[in-house]
Amino acid sequence: MRSAPTILHLDMDAFFASVEQASKPSLRGKAVVVGGLGPRGVVATASYEARVFGVHSAMPMAQARRLAPNAAYLVPRFALYRSISDEVMRLLRALSPLVEPLSLDEAFVDLEAGGTAWDERSARLAGARLRADIREATGLTGSVGLAASKMLAKIASEQAKPDGLVVIEPGTERALLGPLSVRTLPGVGPATGDHLRRAGIHTVGELAEAGEDELVRLLGKAHGHALFAMALARDERPVVAERETKSVSVEDTYDVDIHDRVRVGAEVRRLAGRCVGRLRGAGLSGRTIVLKVRRYDFSTLTRSETLRGPTDDPAVVREAAERLLESVDTTGGVRLLGVGVSGLADYTQEDLFAQAAGAAGEDPVREEPADAPAADGPAPAERHWPAGHDVRHTGYGHGWVQGSGLGRVTVRFETPGSPPGRVRTFRTNDPALEPADPLPLVSRRPGEVEGAQGGGGAGTESA
């Protein structure tokens, strides 16, 4: 194990909520909650102002509204988050070839592998420079932890939050870890934590004192050995630059259970189209089609079918998903549907199902965009205006949706660089109002090439 603190862990501060505050001057310094706004929605992230009220990630949105009724509740803008994440990851890769992204807002970096740092002083300088570069490029803040291992670097970045930098100096690791909860260590979730608590082990120091043999007895050989090593501040896990993608999938949760079998089939076809869109976007194909169904009683069923060869044909994926659906009883209602492809490859092979469809003279299936309504469903009665999303009015300029309902949409007109703006209300079908792309959070310098702040896909975010 290395001795110099040259493993860096970056964690952007309340990333989704911070992006929303940076782009909306009227929300700066105020409680902001980002997530699904339907009855079954959950919190993706909450600003630090909202956390004061007890709101946190993965909390049911209904509970968050009870705790912080006056917060701003916004629908995620994943395309914008992805574009900003790409800019942050570009800065990290300038430091080292060994960058291990964990999510849109979090990553490990091996500074020594990039020749960027070799001792405590150079590591601290690299961390400080990175934080300044991120602020200049995105207008956002990130917390940095530096240590001799991934486990300790992540602990350091948590201690640095928000908007700070913490270095764990060599020789201080055991003293730092001792009083911390066992839940601090990687691999200790609620179940393992409860098991250790019942054995009288609450802190990392008590974990080390228990001894390796006792931990193996309590947790099994592999887990016991691993946790004992971590309790002694030993973590040999390397920073891995690329993680192999094992599957591509999409899923939707519905605010109201779907009982109509025709509608369920239409949703599965739509999800199959979205899944193939992501598959092709990544330049991949796959052999195994997976259908996920969560029923009215929260029971979750998965069905899969493996094809003769990898495919990225939307007709093949759709037909396989429909066949899988035939074996699932949806009588009581469906609350979630998902379609995925695994067994990935970077090439395609003609599939017998597709050949059969072509021989029968069937029309090819048209890929549907991610936000297209189900083909068999009724056309929407009015345009949908998600809270927090960008709009442009021919008379008032750029703004964002504060809320909509009863045929009306309320818009606040402001930009990242403007003062807090005025609020106006329009009919939802007002021809002067249109959806718009997000604006850059930071004004670009003259001659700087404009980036695409607004492309990309969905992801997860940590605190």
CA-to-CA distance for 337 and 301, rounded, in angstroms? 10
* CB-neighbour burial class of residue 282 (10 A; exposed 0-12, middle 13-18, buried 19+): middle
The sign of the dihedral angle between the CA atoms of 386, 47, 61, 458 is positive
Give the residue from 215, 213, 221, 143 showing the smallest Cα distance to 182: 215
Reading phi first (left if > 0) and then psi (alpha if -120 to 50, else beta), residue 298 is in left
Residue 287 phi, psi (nearest 5): -100, -25
Active site (catalytic) residues: 106
**Distance of alpha carbon 210 from the chain centroid:** 37
Query: Which amino acid belongs to residue 401?
Result: V
Beta strand pairing call for 408-413 and 422-427: antiparallel
CA-to-CA distance for 403 and 68, rounded, in angstroms? 17
The 10 Å CB-count burial string (b at 16+, else e) for 211-225 is eeeebbebbeeeebe
3-state DSSP assignment of residue 291: strand
The sign of the dihedral angle between the CA atoms of 85, 87, 92, 96 is positive
CA-to-CA distance for 289 and 318, rounded, in angstroms? 9
CA-to-CA distance for 170 and 79, rounded, in angstroms? 40
For residue 78 the two structure tokens come to 């994943």
- Do residues 143 and 163 lie in contact, with contact meaning Cβ atoms separated by under 8 Å? yes
Residues 6 or more apart whose Cβ sits within 8 Å of residue 396: 411, 413, 422, 424
